[in-house]
């Protein structure tokens, strides 16, 4: 017998996007991508949304604040992620490592992951 699903209606409150910058200074350099990473077929953007359940171990801390702080720290070691792709001679892609940061958008919804079947 086929299951029927009731539509799930909920409200999402999205905060303005913000740049998370590395917590310490990072090298300023151009890093060319390898030939494996610089393939025409890989030149597309993949938008993603991540869902996180609240971890009781963080107590009263805001989960988004924990993520912001951790992201700023990890960008020190993975600093090319805080840069931008640039196209050089012969369409060669390179990462302009200038530490601008990564885009982060916090959002809250009046729904639980369990209601999604997770």
**For a pLDDT cut of 70, what percent of the chain falls above it?**
97
Rounded to an integer, what distance in angstroms lies between the CA atom of residue 50 and that of residue 107? Answer: 10
Tell me the per-residue pLDDT of 8-60, one tens digit each, with 9 for 90 and over: 899 999 999 999 999 999 999 999 999 999 998 888 888 887 777 777 888 88
Q: Tell me the domains of the chain and their CATH numbers.
A: 19-116 (3.30.559.10)
Mean pLDDT, the chain, whole residue set: 89
pLDDT at 101 over 60: yes
Q: How sure is the predictor about 2, in pLDDT bands with cuts at 50, 70 and 90?
A: low
Which residues are bridge partners to 19 per DSSP? 103
* Cβ–Cβ under 8 Å, residues 81 and 103: no
């Amino acid at each position: 017998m086929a299951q029927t699903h009731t539509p799930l209606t909920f409200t999402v409150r999205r905060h303005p996007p913000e740049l998370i910058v590395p917590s310490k200074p990072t090298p300023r350099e151009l890093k060319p991508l390898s030939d494996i990473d610089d393939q025409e077929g890989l030149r597309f953007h993949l938008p993603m949304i991540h869902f996180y359940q609240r971890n009781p171990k963080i107590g009263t801390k805001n989960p988004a604040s924990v993520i912001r702080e951790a992201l700023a720290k990890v960008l020190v070691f993975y600093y090319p992620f805080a840069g931008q792709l640039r196209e050089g001679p012969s369409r060669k892609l390179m990462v302009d490592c200038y530490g601008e940061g990564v885009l982060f958008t916090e959002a809250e919804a009046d729904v639980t992951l369990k209601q999604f079947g997770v």
